[in-house]
Amino acid sequence: MNSNMEKPYVVGIDIGGTNTVFGIVDARGTIIASSSIKTAGYPTAAEYADEVCKNLLPLIIANGGVDKIRGIGVGAPNGNYYTGTIEFAPNLPWKGKIPLAQLISEQIDGIPVALTNDANAAAIGEMTYGAARGMKDFIVITLGTGVGSGIVVGGNLVYGHDGFAGELGHVIMRRNNGRQCGCGRQGCLEAYASATGVARTAREYLEIRKDESVLRDLDPDEITSKDVYDAAMKNDKIALEIFEATGSMLGEAFADFVAFSSPEAIILFGGLTKAGDLIMNPIKRSMEKNMLKVYAGKTKLLFSQLKESDAAVLGASALGWEVRDQSAGLEV
150 occurs within a structural domain: yes
Query: Is 80 exceeded by the pLDDT of residue 90?
Result: no
128 occurs within a structural domain: no
Q: What is the mean pLDDT of residues 33-58?
A: 95
101 and 151, same domain (yes or no): no
**pLDDT the model gives residue 324:** 53
Band (pLDDT 50/70/90 cuts) for residue 307 is confident
208 occurs within a structural domain: yes
Average pLDDT taken over every residue of the chain: 92
Q: What percent of the chain stands above pLDDT 90?
A: 84
CA atoms within 13 A on the CB side of 253: 27
296 and 262, same domain (yes or no): yes
34 and 82, same domain (yes or no): yes
Query: Is 60 exceeded by the pLDDT of residue 190?
Result: yes
Q: How many domains does the chain have?
A: 2
Query: Is 60 exceeded by the pLDDT of residue 218?
Result: yes
98 and 148, same domain (yes or no): no
Sign of torsion over alpha carbons 90, 95, 101, 106: negative
Contact 147, 154 (CB under 8 A): no
65 occurs within a structural domain: yes
Contact 290, 327 (CB under 8 A): no
Q: What percent of the chain stands above pLDDT 70?
A: 96
Question: What is the C-alpha separation between 91 and 106, in angstroms, rounded?
Answer: 25
7 and 102, same domain (yes or no): yes
Q: Pick the residue with more confidence: 3 or 61? A: 61
160 and 20, same domain (yes or no): no
Q: What is the mean pLDDT of residues 113-121?
A: 93
What is the residue range of 29's domain? 3-123+309-328
Strand order in the sheet with 9-15: 31-38, 19-26, 9-15, 69-75, 113-116
**pLDDT the model gives residue 2:** 46
Q: Which of 32-41, 205-214, 295-304, 317-326 has the lowest mean pLDDT?
A: 317-326
Beta strands, E only, 123-181: 138-143, 147-153, 156-157
129 occurs within a structural domain: no
**pLDDT the model gives residue 182:** 87
For the segment 225-245, what is each residue's pLDDT rounded down to a tens digit?
A: 999 999 999 999 999 999 999
Band (pLDDT 50/70/90 cuts) for residue 183 is confident
The overall longest dimension of the chain from CA atoms, in Å, is 71
Count of C-beta atoms within a 10 Å radius of residue 317: 34
Sign of torsion over alpha carbons 101, 318, 57, 75: positive
192 and 279, same domain (yes or no): yes
**pLDDT the model gives residue 330:** 35
For the segment 285-301, what is each residue's pLDDT rounded down to a tens digit?
A: 999 999 999 999 999 99
- What's the whole-model pTM score? 0.88
Question: What is the C-alpha separation between 283 and 107, in angstroms, rounded?
Answer: 46
DSSP character string of 237-264: HHHHHHHHHHHHHHHHHHHHHHHHH--S
Contact 288, 296 (CB under 8 A): yes
Q: What is the mean pLDDT of residues 89-113?
A: 91
**pLDDT the model gives residue 326:** 44
139 occurs within a structural domain: yes
| CATH number for position 39 | 3.30.420.40
**pLDDT the model gives residue 325:** 44
148 and 275, same domain (yes or no): yes
Specify burial of residue 266 (Cβ count, 10 A radius: 0-12, 13-18, 19+).
Answer: buried
146 and 262, same domain (yes or no): yes
Query: Is 60 exceeded by the pLDDT of residue 61?
Result: yes
The separation between CA 137 and the C-alpha centre of its own chain, rounded to angstroms, equals: 17
Contact 252, 207 (CB under 8 A): no
Name the nearest CA neighbour of 127 among 153, 145, 106, 105.
Answer: 153
35 and 155, same domain (yes or no): no
**pLDDT the model gives residue 121:** 92
Name the nearest CA neighbour of 9 among 270, 241, 313, 237.
Answer: 313
Question: What is the C-alpha separation between 216 and 238, in angstroms, rounded?
Answer: 10
233 and 314, same domain (yes or no): no
**pLDDT the model gives residue 4:** 52
Q: What is the mean pLDDT of residues 9-26?
A: 94
CA-based R_g, the chain, Å: 21
Band (pLDDT 50/70/90 cuts) for residue 59 is very high
DSSP character string of 1-39: --HHHHS-EEEEEEE-SSEEEEEEEETTS-EEEEEEEES
66 and 158, same domain (yes or no): no
CA atoms within 13 A on the CB side of 73: 30
**pLDDT the model gives residue 11:** 98
Cα–Cα separations (whole angstroms), residue 135 to 117, 132, 139, 167, 306: 21, 5, 10, 21, 16
